[in-house]
Structure 1
Amino acid sequence: MLKYLPMSTTAREELLWRFARTGDPEIDARQDRILEVLLTANPKMKQRLVDEGRLDEARAALRRVLAHRQFALSPEDAARIEACADLATLERWLGQALAAASAEQALR
């Protein structure tokens, strides 16, 4: 429906509001089923969401290790972590954070 019909910002916001979780298990289950069908029909979007989740988790793991090691992040370093969209880089930084002497060293 959204693909074929132009819609105003107000209509879009109302549609998104109506798909918010209701707390009613039956309605929430129907919404889940709609989402499953949409993601099955669009595997690229499904993969994009999976990839974004992996990036989010890698960023969170890196921040946890740095915090556990009691390394304070500069605002610039925190922004670099948040902006990093390369999983291999985040994983490299995470490995380096395990033995680094500072946050700056971990993020080289």
Structure 2
Amino acid sequence: MTRADEVSFVQPLDQFARWVSQRRPLEWVLSMLKYLPMSTTTSEELLWRFARTGDPEIDARQERILEVLLSANPRMKQRLVDEGRLEGRLDEARATLRRVLAHRQLALTSEDEARIDGCADLATLERWHDQALTAASVPQALR
């Protein structure tokens, strides 16, 4: 199938998916997303419609659907767990770095704070922590 054939095939499915998603229950739409080829843009758009609604009953059903999907896909569940662990380690490394700098009475500027918050590399945060133990200034610690 050529790229032009794919586009002409997917566009009607995108239109159908948008139309039917307003008329069918969540479970049905999720099944459609699972089995029908459609553009990434459309599938993402439909998935975002299922974000928190503020209605406790709907939110509870969505959480149940998510639990079932994650139990059916252990690799995805593990990936999410691993990402959560990494984010926790990054948060702890940032907090530890700040404690060391505060203990050493090295004041952070807003730029320094943003740089620490923006760092998503655990090795860099650990290096900064080690440097902060003996650095004479914040710029020296964060080099």
Please give the TM-score of this superposition, normalised by the length of structure 2. Answer: 0.54
In structure 2, the residue matched to 1:92 is: 127
* Letter paired with 1:47: D
Unaligned segments of structure 1, at least 5 residues: 20-30
For this pair of structures, how many residues does the alignment match? 93
Distance 1:63 1:13, change over 3 A: same
CA-CA distance at 1:77 after TM superposition? 0.9
Q: Which residue of 2 aligns with 1:26?
A: none
Gaps of 5+ in 2: 1-26, 34-45
Shift of 1:8: 6.4
More RCO (CA 8 Å, sep 6+): 1
Which protein shows a greater Rg?
A: 2
Pick from 70, 87, 90: which aligns with 1:38?
70
Q: Which residue of 1 aligns with 2:99?
A: 64
Mapped to 1, the partners of 2:47 and 2:110 lie a distance apart of 39
Alignment pair present for 1:73 and 2:105: no
Q: Structure 1 66/3 Cα, relative in aligned 2: closer, same or farther at 3 Å?
A: farther
Structure 1 residue 102 displacement after superposition: 0.9
Q: 1:7 to 1:69 in 2, by over 3 A?
A: same
Q: Superposition RMSD on alpha carbons, in Å?
A: 3.0
Q: Does 1:12 align with 2:44?
A: no
Whole-angstrom CA distance in 1 between matches of 2:30 and 2:54: 13
